[in-house]
Structure 1
Amino acid sequence: MMIYVPLLFFSCFLFHHFHAILCDSNTDREALLSFKSQVTDPKNALSAWSTNSNHCNWYGVRCSKVGNRVQSLNLPGLSLSGKLPPHLSNLTYLHSLDLSNNNFHGQIPTHFAHLSLLNVIQLSSNNLSGTIPSQLGYLHRLQILDFSVNNLTGQIPPSFANLSSLKNLSLARNRLEGDIPTELGNLRNLSFLQISENNFSANFPTSIFNISSLVFLSVTKNNLTGELPQNFGLFLPNLKYLHLATNMFEGVIPNSISNASQLQEIDLANNKFTGPIPLFYNLKNLTRLVLGHNYLSSTTLLNVQFFDSLRNSTKLQELRIHENHLAGELPSSVANLSRNLEHFCVANNFLTGTIPQGMKKFKNLISLSFEINSFTGELPSEIGALNNLQQLLIYSNRLSGDIPDIFGNLTNLFILAMGNNQFSGTIHQSIGQCKRLTFLDLRLNRLGGTVPNEIFQLSSLRMLNLAGNSLQGPLPPMVGTMKQLETMHISDNQLSGNIPEQIENCLSLKWVTMARNRFNGSIPTKIGNLASLETLDLSLNSLTGPIPQSLEKLEYMQKLNLSFNHLEGEVPTKGLFTNLTKFDLRGNNQLCSLSKEIVQNLGVLPCVVGKKKRKFLLPTMLAVVGATALFISVLFLFWTMKKKRKERKTLVSSDPFMGLSKNITYGDIRIATNNFAAENLIGKGGFGSVYKGVFSFSTGETVTLAVKVLDLQQSKASKSFNAECEALKNVRHRNLVKVITSCSSLDYKGEEFKAIVMQFMPNGNLDFKIHPGDEESGSLLTLMQRLNIAIDVASALEYLHHDCDPPIAHCDLKPANVLLDENMTAHVVDFGLARFLCQNTSEKQSSTLGLKGSIGYIAPEYGFGSKASTEGDVYSFGILLLEMFTAKRPSDKMFKEGLSLNKFVSSMDENEVVKVADRRLIEDYECSTQSSNSDDGSSGFDSNTHWMHKAEECIGDVLRVGLSCAADQPKERWNMREALSKLHAINHSMLPF
């Protein structure tokens, strides 16, 4: 009897156990049916879910072998929608939940935390919102958590540090923000971390770089900061994918990265990494290396080392090191890169020398990008062997010679951009064999001959830019076959003949510029059929006939320029022509209009109704107007001459330069400078020499002036002369050098001679005062003199930037271009590179990369092709200010390997910035204050300490102004008005009261 009692109890236990399993199985079924009832199922994927069938056989459901408990629910990509029902938390035996790539919305239920057996939860690619429940951090068995591509907000819960089994954490493409918990570095089993495209900020926790199991790390497109640890690669033996692009990481990229020998992809682009370009030895599996858009630097020697370090990366397919500060030449070892190379980009750097030979081995190359550098020499013809090439980008360099005939083999080419070089010769017909070409840029070269007809048979072409060459001949009728063409720039050539009517068939055209050619005949009458047209510039040709009325219906037109042709007839008045700001009709003397607004605003004549009246009345009116104007001009001339004779004596006495003839000759200058004697040579500049000259007044008195004589053997000297005269003729400011007159004539040998006569500055230039030689050691500028000079220079730039219309950018500000008069007042000089900052700068400025200024003072963006700007001047002023108060030139030998004057100063602690200042300023100020205190009888120590503290505070404040002006990013710089205001405040603080 005693034997049966335990059996009875055991039987009861089994009954209750299996009864519980059966009940839990029913609970699972009810949870699934509840889920079905609350979601929308457009594909009827859940149609078989019913009470009449076993739930373990339902689509997407997998159960345990014992008890029919639901272990996985996998329903990805079914377009299911609705909110996630909390009833799913009743599936307590669930190991895997995959509802990815659907349309679920609402929040993630906190009840999911009850699913303690969960290994996998995948909810990616839905429309989920709200925050991530912190309760999920206690799912200790969780190995995969994927919430990517949703609209989740808030932070990563710190409780995620408890997910000790986690291997895959993917939260990419949400709107998460805040810090990344440092505790994630404790997840020692983590191999996949993907948190890209969020709004994370602050420092990226370095603890994550210590997770030795990490294989994939991607944090791109956030606002993360910080530096890579120096031992970065030592603790990541399994890392294969490193993606940190588009953040704000900074500092040096450590060479220890090569210790992570399993690396296959490295993407550190779009950050603020500085220092030398790193070396990548031992990365035999590397397929992708992207370092673009940072502040990395190099030399020719470092370039050799860099490319040698990639010698063993035989699987490399993509190499992008664009938009950095790389300099020097590319070595021949470029040819030792992987034969598998598909993308090679070194654009937007400061690289020089020739394009390396040996690239014909890269048979898989798809994109070759060398644009915006300073490469010289000829384009290697071996590039024609790269028959898989789709993009060839070499624009904005200094390449020369004939373009080799290489295009017959480049039949896969989509983009060919060779503009802004010095190529000569003709355009080859073989370009017409590139049938897939969509973008052709040959602008701003020295190409001649006719445009091959084959170019106009490229039916896939969207952009054609041949502007700024010496091309001749007509535009062929086959241009009408270019149905996809959106942009056609052929201005500034010698093209002639009629504009073909077939251009009306290019219905995709948006931008057309044909200015400054020799086109004649009439404008095609149906050109208004180009409904998408936004810009049409036909100016400065020899076009005749009327303005087509079809232009009236171009509703998207933003600019219509028909100026300086021989157009005639009545100007249309409807549609486009009701907005007078959109078009330019100047220089067409036979146009007329019945509209008073057009007559008044565009300068055309009023139309006269009737042919006879039109024929005879118009010449009569012109004759009467001309005669009247001539009579008034003669009267005014006599009155002016009489007035000048009365005022001549007064003018001469009031202005010491009025006695000097404005029509100064070569002979006058030769006599004044004693035949350009060496003892009268003041200095030499980029485009000429400056002499001291003694000129005679008409009254017999003499005056000493400075004469800048242009060296016209230099190709850009005449352009510099014209720019300086244009910039200075209408500006007036006490801190700008005063130009008395100019001379443009012939010397005694019959050769061209150009000179500018200016006010003489007896104290020389600022460069000599900041960096005096031994013989000038007594001429050191004091602290207050430097501060006042800084204010003078800032005042001049503030006037040019904010008070001139249009604003003027100096483009070459440096100490040598700041002159000091007898009172040590500063005057800015040398406007040879100055630019007018007009709204339409297509002619005044180009996007070419001729460096605007002098090395060391050039704004970083100019190296990347940016146009002249006031921000560029502000950067130069910031460097000048730092140089004035540190006595260190920006070209000093100490500034190498990525270090610059502004980085040197900014590296100092906020309270120690004065340590980089010129110590002579402090010592000189100390001596002057001690002398002052002795003279007035005040006690020494406390007073001296006070004034020394003020001096150090002044220098620190000025250096901080310099750093604010010399910021790397233009948008982060102060403008000159702000800088001048701050300098005035510093000066005021130094006043003795």
Structure 2
Amino acid sequence: MKKKYHSPLMFLTLFLICQIILCHNMSMVRAQLDATTDKQALLSFKSLVSDPQSTLSQWNVDSSHCNWPGVNCTNNGARVRYLLLNGHGFIGIIPPQLSNLTSLQILDLSENSFFGHIPSEFSQLVNLQILDLAVNSINGTIPPELGNLHRLKKVDLSRNSLSGAIPTTFGFLPNLTWLLIAENQLSGKIPAELGHLQNLLVLQLYWNQLTGEIPFSIYNMSSLVYLSLTKNMLSGKLPSNMGHDLPRLTELYLANNKLEGPIPSSLCNASQMQIIDLSINRFSGSLPLLGNLKNLTLLNLGYNRLSSTTELNFQAFGSLTNCTKMELLNVESNELGGELPLSVSNLSPNLQEFFIGENFFTGGFPQGFEKYQNLSSLYIQNNYFQGEIPSSIGKLKQLQSLMVDRNELFGEIPDIFRNLTQLYVLDMSDNQLSGRFPSSLAYCQHLSLLYLAGNKLTGSITKNIPSSLRELLLARNLFTGSLPMEIGNLKQLEVLDVSGNLLSGNITTEITKCLSLRNLSMARNNLTGSIPSSLGELTPLESLDLSSNKLSGPIPKELENLEVLKTLNLSFNQLEGQIPRNSVFVNLTWNSLQGNYKLCGFNQEAAEKLRVNICASNSHLLPKILIPISCFLALVCAICCFFWALITRKNKNSGDKKRSSSEIIRSLPMLSYFEIQRATNGFAVENLIGKGGFGTVYKAVFENTGKFGVNTISAVKVLDLGQSRASKSFDIECEVLRNIRHRNLVKVFTSCSSIDHIGADFKALIMEFMSNGNLDKWLYPGDIESGLFLTLTQRLNIAIDVASALDYLHHHCEPPIVHCDLKPGNVLLDENMVAHVGDFGLARFLLQNPQQNEISTIGLKGSIGYIAPEYGQGGKASTSGDVYSFGILLLEMFIAKKPTNEMFKEGLNLNKYASTMQEKKITDIVDPRLFKDNENYTQNSNTSTNTSNFTGSESSNNNINNNSNHCWFHRSEECAAAAIRLGLSCAAHSTKDRLTMGEALTRLQELMKFLVG
């Protein structure tokens, strides 16, 4: 029998078969384990998030996870490849257990409500290609570990609350084509490492807080198609070869940053460009020539500092005629000048929006726009265009917004609105347009905003007003007649301003049918009759101005029903009877009722506050009630005074010292240094308002208004404690402001007496923010083009406000207070141009005991030029010294020359200067800008009037026709002359020759009555 032999090949084959079987079994086991791991990770996700739409209801242990909604597995059915759970309303943190899905290629959790941080464990998802967490509430920083995911192609973290810097590790993702981190709170600089992403197509970082210059490496990303860095704080210039290095760029968004320098002409080499938005920056130079961009649809260069001439306009607009796909062109709010070329009528026929407003363009109204049949917006406002409005505008049937305001257009408004049925906004205000209200506006049934104020329109206000109107502004025209009854058809009307016209008759009660009305102004007309009580039905009303009319009768008590009414002005009418006591009338001031001499207050307190008599029906009861009460109170007061005197003498004899600043401010809610530092953005330069003798004032935005009781926006005065007198100034200002309350004094909300970040003493006052700055800025604007100008009426109102504040300090405070530093820089103006006196660092109390009158002695009392002469000779602070400063201030307001002006250095002071000019015409001495506003009130007055016949309350009123607008110039000259003479009286060299502040205030009020007729 033969013996069997087995060859080595057989053994090798058997070995390989065993190995294959073993590996297969192991892979099956591993796959089973991996599948179990993935399933457990998904179940952990389900357990940790809230699922309001029950999307995960089918995720259970008994079924295969590859069949679950939102889950997609690999071909072998074991590993999770895609997890697509966007837009299902999930709430919770993102579970880090998802990092166990190591085969995951796409993770999409966008459009949910996830919060918390991005798990750093996601760095384990080595196969991930798309990470989409957009539109959630995720906060914290972006984990730099995500830069290890080298297969990533798209990262979208937009519209979250992410903070911190962009990880530099993102610059080492070789396959990344989309990087979207827009609408977050990222800070710091854009990493230069992002320039390594040579495959990147889309980069979106808009609406963050990124700073610094844009790295030049970004401009070398030749594959880039879409770049958006809008609304950051980026600075620097654009490279001159930008268009060469980004040849594939189609959309460029760099708006709302701090970029400067010229716009590179090389942009025309990016021939695929469709959208360019460089608005709201600081770009300068001329308009770029972009005629090579055939695909350009949107060009927005608005709100920059670009300039031009007529010749440059021909080149720039001529080149744009080659952009045949252009839909939007915006160059508004620049410094472009010269005439527009005729080529503006040869732009793309697809043009829908054309914005050139707020520049310096001249010439006639742009012609040829009737060819743009798709045009929806035409803005040429605030330029120097002249001539008539062409009737061809009426052919633009798609027009929705037409703004031609603040130009020099004249002639009648053409009756072109029959075809403009889509019109939504029409603004023709502040031109020289004449004629009647265009009747064809009745066809504009979508018209919402209609502004025709500041023209010379005549006749009656048409009855055919579009019922769709929300705002109707017809102020400062020459409309006559009464307000039409059809006004009641405007059910959506929110704002109605017909002030400064020649309207007459009664206030129609139909206006009370406008139940959405928030602001109503009918001031400065010739309205008669009584105020309709039905106005009390306009419950949304926030502002009501009926001043300077001829209204009579009582103030309707129904106005107390207007609970949201914030502003009420009924001054200079013929109203009578008792002033209501509730709602808006609680905080009403004399300014709102002045000129109504038959009004009365319901009690003594109200009468004194509003400067009227107490009503007769109440005053006859006073003697019976007050005599016994007064006797009793007098007895109680006498006893209290006796014991108070004993206690006071004992305290004085024991050497009791004045209260320190910490004692003075103890009753105020305190702020910390760090809260102020945060509110001022680290005392940033852009928040600096001004510097004073003892400190610096910043604008501050406090986030938690409820805790501190301050406005969201406030002013913070930070004391310079390096000055020896600053701390004492702080003490005095705290003490003064703790004791006073008046509408014309700057309100202090709280204070800070703490230490700063280096442990040094820190003191600050938190005050009411005055949005219009100080009077000095308005009298002497550094930039002629700034538009800062005070009319005669405004100057007189400011003088009355300042006089009211000083009269209160001198005669209505106990003890009286002397300001000691009155000057234009310390007169602040709020948003309504109401004046407030501030800076009480040098103020003093006038105590009965002369030895106690040294509470605020700090060197020289006041500022050079405004100091009373007796102060220079060691005289004590007095109310008369404030009167002198007020006189200088009054002269300065009307002459517009500082008392420190170069022309006064040779012994001629401001007072003497005004005195020597008394025999000259008023127009030779006053601020030459003062009578510019009179063109709104008279057309034919061109004569100057000698002003020697009006002194104080003794006027030539009987020779003036107060009902004629042609008298305005005459009254203005006489009023200015009287104000100057009043200033001279207050600034007399001898104290005994000066008026009191009460007398000065009375004369100013009489001047105002005389001025308004």
Query: Which SS does the other structure have where 2:86 is aligned?
Result: coil
The structure 2 residue matched to 1:588, chosen from 596, 617, 621, is 596
Separation (CA, whole Å) in 2 of partners of 1:845 and 1:801: 30
Look up the match of 1:138.
148
Q: Secondary structure at the match of 2:361?
A: strand
Cα distance, 1:6 vs structure 2: 2.4
Residues 364-414 of structure 1 show CA distances to partners (whole Å, capped at 9, x for unaligned) of 111111111111111121111111111111111111111111111111111
Equivalent residue number for residue 79 of structure 2: 69
The answer to whether 1:189 aligns with 2:216 is no
User: Given the superposition, is the C-alpha separation of residues 803 and 137 from structure 1 closer, same or farther in structure 2, using an over 3 Å criterion?
Assistant: farther
Could you say which residue in structure 2 is the equivalent of 1:173? 183
1:6 aligns with 2:16: yes
1:521 is matched with 529
Aligned residue in 2 for 1:416: 426
Is the 1:810–1:835 Cα contact (8 Å) retained in structure 2? Answer: no
Q: 1:521 to 1:196 in 2, by over 3 A?
A: same
Measure the CA separation in 2 of the matches of 1:215 and 1:132. 25
Q: Is the 8 A contact 1:283 1:313 kept in 2?
A: yes
Q: Within the alignment, does 1:555 sit opposite 2:563 as a pair? A: yes
Give the equivalent residue in structure 2 for 1:496: 504
Shift of residue 164, structure 1, vs aligned partner: 1.0
Tell me the amino acid that sits aligned with residue 424 of structure 1.
Answer: S
Deviation at 1:557, TM superposition (A): 2.4
Q: 1:67 to 1:482 in 2, by over 3 A?
A: closer
Question: Secondary structure in 2 aligned to 1:521?
Answer: coil
Moved more, 31-40 or 99-108: 31-40
| 1:86 Cα offset (Å) | 1.3
| 1:352 aligned partner | 362
Structure 1 runs, 4 residues or longer, greater than 6 Å off: 610-613, 719-731, 791-795, 799-803, 809-813, 820-830, 841-846
**Superposition deviation, residue 807 in structure 1:** 7.9
Distance 1:794 1:340 in 2: 64
Cα deviation 1:677-736 (Å, max 9, x = unaligned): xxxxxxxxxxxxxxxxxxxxxxxxxxxxxxxxxxxxxxxxxx9999999999999x9x99
Task: Tell me if the contact between 1:527 and 1:551 (Cα under 8 Å) persists in the aligned partners.
Answer: yes
Which AA in structure 1 matches 2:123? A
What is the CA distance between 1:82 and its match in structure 2?
Answer: 1.2
Q: Does structure 1 residue 128 correspond to structure 2 residue 223?
A: no
Q: Tell which has more relative contact order, 1 or 2 (C-alpha 8 A, sep 6+).
A: 1
Instruction: Tell me the CA shift for residue 572 of structure 1.
Output: 2.5
Residue identity matched to 1:258: C
TM-score by length of 1: 0.63
**Where in structure 2 are the equivalents of 1:51-450 lying within 5 Å?**
51-450=61-460
Distance 2:864 2:481 in 1: 55
Deviates more, 1:355-364 or 1:48-57: 48-57
Identify the residue that residue 804 of structure 1 maps to in structure 2: 889
Structure 1 residues 759-798: aligned runs within 5 Å: none
Which aligned pairs between 1:714-753 and structure 2 lie closer than 5 A? none
Give CA-to-partner distance per residue, 1:301-326, whole Å, 9 cap, x none: 11111111111211111111111111
Task: Note the alpha carbon deviations across 1:594-638, whole angstroms, 9 max, x for none.
Answer: 43234334444443349999xxxxxxxxxxxxxxxxxxxxxxxxx
3-state DSSP of counterpart to 1:416: strand
> Do 1:801 and 1:807's aligned partners in 2 also have CA atoms closer than 8 Å?
no
Cα displacement string for residues 465-523 of structure 1 (whole angstroms, at most 9, x for unaligned residues)? 11111111111222122222111111111111111112122222222111221211211
2:487–2:510 contact (8 Å) kept in structure 1: yes
Letter in 2 for 1:804: L
Residue 479 of structure 1 is matched in structure 2 by: 487
Letter matched to residue 334 of structure 2:
N
Q: Which runs of 5+ in 1 are unaligned?
A: 614-718, 737-790, 847-993
Check conservation: 1:86, 1:111, Cα contact below 8 A. Answer: yes
Name the amino acid aligned to 1:476: P
What residue number does 1:832 align with?
927
Q: Which residue of 2 aligns with 1:461?
A: 469
**Residues 580 and 598 in structure 1, CA contact (< 8 A), matched pair in contact too:** no
- Whole-Å Cα distance in 1 between the matches of residues 512 and 417 of structure 2? 29
Is the alpha carbon distance of 1:607 and 1:210 closer, same or farther for their aligned partners in structure 2, counting shifts above 3 Å? same
Shift of 1:111: 1.0
Deviation at 1:256, TM superposition (A): 0.6
Q: Give distance in 2, aligned partners of 1:111 and 1:807.
A: 70
SS of corresponding position for 2:115: strand
Residue 500 of structure 1 aligns with an amino acid whose one-letter code is T
| In structure 1, C-alpha distance between the alignment counterparts of 2:793 and 2:173, rounded to whole Å | 72
Q: CA deviation at 1:87?
A: 1.2
For the 8 Å contact 2:603–2:618, the answer to whether it is kept is no
| AA at the equivalent of 2:18 | L
**How many aligned positions are there?**
674
Q: Relative to 1, partners in 2 of residues 1:35 and 1:835: Cα closer, same or farther, differing over 3 Å?
A: farther
CA deviation map 1:645-667 (0-9, x unaligned): xxxxxxxxxxxxxxxxxxxxxxx
Matched residue SS, 1:65: coil
The CA RMSD over aligned residues, in Å, is 3.7
In the alignment, the residues of structure 2 paired with residue 792 and residue 209 of structure 1 have an alpha-carbon distance, to the nearest angstrom, of 56
Residues 134 and 159 in structure 1, CA contact (< 8 A), matched pair in contact too: yes
1:522 is paired with a residue of what secondary structure?
coil
Distance 1:151 1:475, change over 3 A: same
Which stretch of the first structure deviates more once superposed, 227-236 or 511-520?
511-520
Q: Structure 1 stretch 386-395 or stretch 66-75: which is displaced more?
A: 66-75
Q: Which whole-Å CA distance do the structure 1 matches of 2:425 and 2:399 have between them?
A: 9
Q: 1:66 to 1:842 in 2, by over 3 A?
A: farther
Counterparts of 2:81 and 2:541, CA distance in 1? 62
> Aligned partner of 1:313: which letter?
C
How far is 1:437 from its partner? 1.2
CA contact (8 A) 2:589 2:609 kept: no
Relative to structure 1, the CA distance from residue 19 to residue 608 in structure 2 (aligned partners, 3 Å threshold; closer, same or farther) is: closer
Aligned to 2:580: 572
Distance in 2 separating the partners of 1:722 and 1:504: 31
**Partner-residue secondary structure (3-state), 1:256:** helix
Q: Distance in 1 between matches of 2:936 and 2:458?
A: 23
Distance between the aligned counterparts of 1:540 and 1:302, measured in 2? Answer: 50
Q: Distance in 2 between matches of 1:265 and 1:156?
A: 26
Asked if 2 retains the 8 angstrom alpha-carbon contact of 1:812 and 1:833, the reply is: no
**Could you tell me which residue of structure 2 aligns to residue 509 of structure 1?**
517
Q: Is the 8 Å Cα contact of residues 812 and 831 (structure 1) preserved in structure 2?
A: no
TM-score (norm 2): 0.62
Alpha-carbon deviations, 1:94-127, whole Å to 9, x = none?
Answer: 1110000001111111111111111100000111
Letter of the aligned partner of 1:584 in structure 2? S
> 1:611/1:171 Cα in 2 relative to 1: closer, same or farther (>3 Å)?
closer
User: Aligned pair in 2 of structure 1 residues 108, 725: CA closer, same or farther (>3 Å)?
Assistant: closer
Percent identity of equivalent pairs: 45
Distance 1:72 1:809, change over 3 A: farther
Letter in 1 for 2:549: N
Q: State the Cα deviation string for residues 210-250 of structure 1 (Å, max 9, x = none).
A: 10110110011111111100001001111011000111111
C-alpha contact (below 8 Å) 1:174/1:197 kept by paired residues: yes
8 Å Cα contact 2:505-2:526 kept in structure 1: yes
Per-residue displacement from partner, 1:321-370 (whole Å, max 9, x unpaired)?
Answer: 11111111111110111111111111111111112211011111111111
8 Å contact from structure 1 (residues 811, 834) kept in 2: no
Give the CA deviation at 1:534. Answer: 2.2
Counting only pairs closer than 5 Å after superposition, residues 821-860 of structure 1 correspond to structure 2 as 831-834=926-929
Unmatched runs of 5 consecutive residues or more in structure 2: 1-9, 622-789, 804-820, 825-862, 868-883, 915-923, 938-1013
**Secondary structure at the counterpart of residue 461 of structure 1:** coil
Offset, 1:573: 3.0
The whole-number CA distance in structure 1 between the counterparts of 2:152 and 2:886 is 62
1:909-928 mapped onto 2 (5 Å cutoff): none
Partner of 1:600: 608
Does structure 2 conserve the Cα–Cα contact (< 8 Å) formed by 1:230 and 1:254? yes
